[in-house]
Structure 1
């Protein structure tokens, strides 16, 4: 009598391609959906990490240049620019707010500046957080897609038993293999997305705090300039 092969042995022997080839159309659709989700998630992670890294690096360069100037608005007057730098965008918005206040009272000038900086911070946060929700969706949806494939694979396995009239490895292995592979792929998609999502959220929170601190510093300097 030949040795009994367990489903895990069959899966290891055939691998992903075997499991995909024996899966029903629903299992193949789930695997394809998870594959597309993985590509989208990795693309978003790569793009957002590049954006956050650029914002951090350019922000440090901008602050160093700003501290080196004798007057706070000197960079604005010289029309220097920093690409992919949220702090610079705040700085420009604040300078334009002060410039547009014209002959308003001192209190109104400060109020207009605060409003301009608040709007600028909100805009930059929205820009930094864009597409991050895709990772959160992948974290939530991928395991459930894998579970759907698992349930469907088990259904196919029992359907094979019902057709053949007896529980054999040949009748059950295809459905079980498809069920196992969708579960694994679902977790493989979800775990990197979860790690990337948490890291991005922490870095965006840090950048948001830096922007809020810079806005407070800007307002404090403007108050002294206006009152002086």
Structure 2
């Protein structure tokens, strides 16, 4: 309790002795901290929801006796990148098959089992799946640049405030003509607070960024593997052998 009191009182003292420029930088860093924490929490919630919905979707897909059943039922799995890739593959299968009705009208399962496409058409489905995988990864990586900027830029902004504050402190010292620790220490103390604030902003942003990047890397590999599985299922069920 006493340690917390001395720490808080020290921070208040340093802030009071900081120059106007240092205080402006401190408020700027506070804004950066608010943005980075907001982005961090939003991304963590988004990724957690995506993984949860994907697990739910994959369980139902595995339990289904008919591979296209989930597509035909139009059951929603909001935020699931795996479901988005699956739906894209199925839609592209419908679109390239000649004589099919609009997807909105639905397809009877027996009719779908009779669909046969060429290996050339399969490449169109592959391209669509790869594009959708890329879109889903971009969606998950959205706003990550803000975390990276906060992690890398905040310490330098804090250092700028410290250097500026120390420069002002030495200027005031020269004007006063009294080179004593008592006259110089308050200004330097206020200046160092800027560096402390910069590190306080950067460290959580850096840890959060690294954790999210590692999670997204794992999710990307899993999504690419699933895209390959979708393509394999389509090839196994609906591709006819090319005639020489």
Q: Settle same-fold status: TM greater than 0.5.
A: yes
> What is the TM-score of this pair, normalised by structure 2?
0.85
TM-superposed deviation, 1:177: 1.2
| Contact in 1 for aligned 2:19/2:191 (Cα 8 Å) | no
Give the match for residue 3 of structure 2. Answer: none
Please give the per-residue CA displacement for 1:82-141, whole angstroms capped at 9, x wherever unaligned: 011111111111110101011395112211110110110011011000011101000111
How many Å separate the matches in 2 of 1:118 and 1:160? 63
Give the match for residue 94 of structure 1. Answer: 89
Give the match for residue 3 of structure 1. Answer: none
Give the match for residue 63 of structure 1. Answer: 58
Of stretches 107-116 and 192-201 in structure 1, the one that deviates more from structure 2 is 107-116
Match of 2:219 among 207, 211, 216: 207
Matches within 5 A, 1:1-228: 14-103=9-98, 105-227=117-239
> What is the TM-score of this pair, normalised by structure 1?
0.91
TM-superposed deviation, 1:169: 3.2
TM-superposed deviation, 1:175: 1.7
- Structure 1 vs Structure 2 CA RMSD: 1.6
TM-superposed deviation, 1:171: 2.2
How many residues align? The count is: 218
TM-superposed deviation, 1:23: 1.3
- Quick one: structure 1 residues 85 and 164, their matched pair in 2 at CA, closer, same or farther if it must change by over 3 Å? same
| Contact in 2 for aligned 1:44/1:131 (Cα 8 Å) | yes
Paired residue secondary structure (1:63): helix
TM-superposed deviation, 1:201: 0.3
| Contact in 2 for aligned 1:20/1:178 (Cα 8 Å) | yes
Unaligned residue ranges in structure 1 (runs of 5+): 1-10
| Contact in 2 for aligned 1:154/1:175 (Cα 8 Å) | yes
